[in-house]
Amino acid sequence: MTQDTVNAANKRVVKKTIIIVVAMFMFGFVALPALYELICDSFGLNGQTEQVTEAEAAKINIDKSRVIRVTFNSIINSKLPWAFEPEVKHLELHPGELKRVNYVAKNLSGSDIVGQAIYSVSPIEAARYFKKTECFCFTQQLLKSGESKKMAVLFMLEPDLPENIKEVTLSYTFFNADKYASK
């Protein structure tokens, strides 16, 4: 085997390897977000909830035989100079009952800031039964310097919430979203 033949064979191997690596990267780039969302939706992972309309929520029968305690948490990312907390720390509701809870955010900085709330529900098993009709977390929130804002979340727990779940926690973490803001 001559040196030219070896060089040509090496070039073919390198080209094929590069093509395979690029194809694998493209597949992962396209498929992983969809796969992640599918898995989260199917198994109620990552504490994500589903949005429903008030009309849909009104059609659901309330299970008055059960009472669920819902606790509300609020967290501020260290890069966001805001105060943020729920008006109530917890409440009790019947599965199927629509409830409104307000959170209050205040911009403590000397400049206007856009924030984005990310939510989660625990236990994770309860997330698929936690439905929101309205939530400040669906959009970015602009608070002017020193401004305070009351923000609502309207939610319910579906009546087919497993019997073993007696308490659910709804947590929000606010992040600085100025970089991504559509001002």
Q: What is the pLDDT along the chain (183 residues), one digit of tens a residue?
A: 788 787 888 888 888 888 888 777 766 656 655 555 555 554 444 444 566 666 676 677 889 999 999 999 999 998 899 999 999 999 999 999 999 999 999 999 999 999 999 999 999 999 989 999 899 988 999 999 999 999 999 999 999 999 999 999 999 999 998 876 665
* Same domain, yes or no: 169 and 135: yes
- String of DSSP letters for 8-74: HHHHHHHHHHHHHHHHHHHHHHHHHHHHHHHHHHHHTGGG--EE--HHHHHTSPP-TT--EEEEEEE
Q: For the whole model, what pTM was predicted?
A: 0.69
* Same domain, yes or no: 156 and 104: yes
* Structural domain span for residue 22: 3-43
* Same domain, yes or no: 13 and 92: no
* Same domain, yes or no: 140 and 167: yes
* Same domain, yes or no: 154 and 88: yes
Residues 6+ apart with CB under 8 A from 52: 131, 132, 133, 156
